[in-house]
Amino acid sequence: MQIFHRSTNTLAKVTLFGAVAFIALATWVFMVLDRSPYNTRQDEILNQPVPFSHEHHVRGLGIDCRYCHTSVEKTAVAGIPPVATCYNCHKQIWTNSAMLAPVRDGYKNGKPIEWVRVHDLPDYVYFNHSIHVAKGVGCATCHGRVDKMPLMRQHATLQMEWCITCHRNPERYIRPRDAVYQMDYEPPANQIELGRRLMTEYQVRRLTDCSTCHR
CB neighbours of residue 70 within 10 Å = 16
pLDDT greater than 90 at residue 65: yes
CA distances from 200 to 136, 171, 197 (A): 12, 10, 5
Beta bridge mates, 153? 45
Full-model pTM: 0.83
> Is 1 a residue whose pLDDT tops 60?
no
Half-sphere exposure (Cβ direction) of 40: Cα atoms closer than 13 Å: 19
* Stretch 94-103: mean pLDDT: 94
**Of residues 211 and 39, which shows the higher confidence score?**
211
Distance between CA atoms of residues 152 and 56, nearest Å: 11
Contact of 57 with 183, CB cutoff 8 Å:
no
Dump pLDDT digits (tens) for 143-183: 999 999 999 999 999 999 999 999 999 999 999 999 999 99
